[in-house]
């Protein structure tokens, strides 16, 4: 076993809204360093500042590549609160695929869901409009282009209000409170 593999590890983090997926920021915004004290661990992939949920960090380059490189087709699942009462035609369009500026995008699975009971409060909360309903959708992807889920829901006329990544492969976020992290055994072979 090589030294890089001998000490390899995986860290699961429930990234809060407004936190950057990096350890420093010249503008003084919240970063991973405000939550995580694990020298040598770096984010395997990204999650937008205005998105929440599961972020994996590792100290092993091979694991990092298996998590983030599209050729491994690792499924990532998102819980999405959209503006409006999403209908079956919009869900079907997401399943078939929608055309984005950088090419077609298709979810591997899409279904309407209820808001999970275990969902944490977001700070700050999303805007609430009394006369416009919201709905929740679960979307699974095997690619991860920049702001892809947000662009996909906008393409079917249901803009994303809140986006939470709940799963990366077999790892899930539900055992962590917002801002909490823990080490975990890696499900990725090195």
Tens place of pLDDT per residue across the chain (190 aa): 223 333 568 999 999 999 999 999 999 999 999 999 999 999 998 899 999 999 999 999 888 888 887 777 789 999 999 999 999 999 999 999 999 999 999 999 999 999 999 999 998 888 777 788 999 999 999 987 889 999 999 999 999 999 999 999 999 999 999 999 999 987 665 5
Helix 148-155, helix 88-96: angle, nearest 10: 130
Nearest to 172 by CA among 116, 108, 95, 126: 116
Residues 38, 43, 47: CA angle, nearest 5 degrees: 130
Which residues are the active-site residues? 48
Q: Cα(170)–Cα(31) distance, rounded to whole angstroms?
A: 25
CA-to-CA separations, 24 to 9, 12, 53, 103, 147, in angstroms, rounded? 22, 19, 20, 32, 22
Contact 167, 142 (CB under 8 A): no
What does the alpha-carbon distance between residue 185 and residue 188 come to, in Å, rounded to a whole number? 9
Listed residue (78, 73, 7) closest to 47, CA to CA: 78
Helix, strand, or coil here: 142?
Answer: coil
H helices of 44-101, in order, are: 61-68, 88-96
């Amino acid at each position: 076993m090589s030294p890089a593999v001998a000490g390899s590890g995986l860290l699961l983090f429930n990234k809060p809204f407004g936190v950057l997926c990096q350890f420093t920021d010249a503008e003084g915004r919240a970063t991973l360093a405000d939550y995580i004290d694990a020298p040598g661990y770096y984010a395997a992939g990204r999650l937008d500042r205005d998105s929440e949920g599961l972020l994996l960090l590792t100290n092993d380059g091979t694991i990092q590549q298996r998590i983030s490189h599209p050729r491994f087709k690792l499924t990532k699942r998102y819980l999405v609160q959209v503006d409006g009462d999403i209908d079956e035609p919009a869900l079907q369009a997401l399943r078939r695929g929608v055309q984005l500026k950088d090419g077609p995008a298709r979810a591997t699975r899409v279904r309407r869901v209820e808001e999970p009971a275990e969902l944490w409060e977001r700070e700050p909360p999303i805007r609430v409009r009394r006369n416009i309903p919201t709905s929740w959708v679960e979307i699974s992807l095997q690619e991860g282009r920049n702001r892809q889920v947000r662009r996909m829901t906008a393409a079917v006329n249901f803009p994303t209000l809140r986006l939470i990544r709940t799963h990366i492969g077999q790892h899930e976020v539900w055992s962590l409170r917002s801002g909490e992290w823990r080490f975990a055994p890696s499900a990725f072979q090195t």
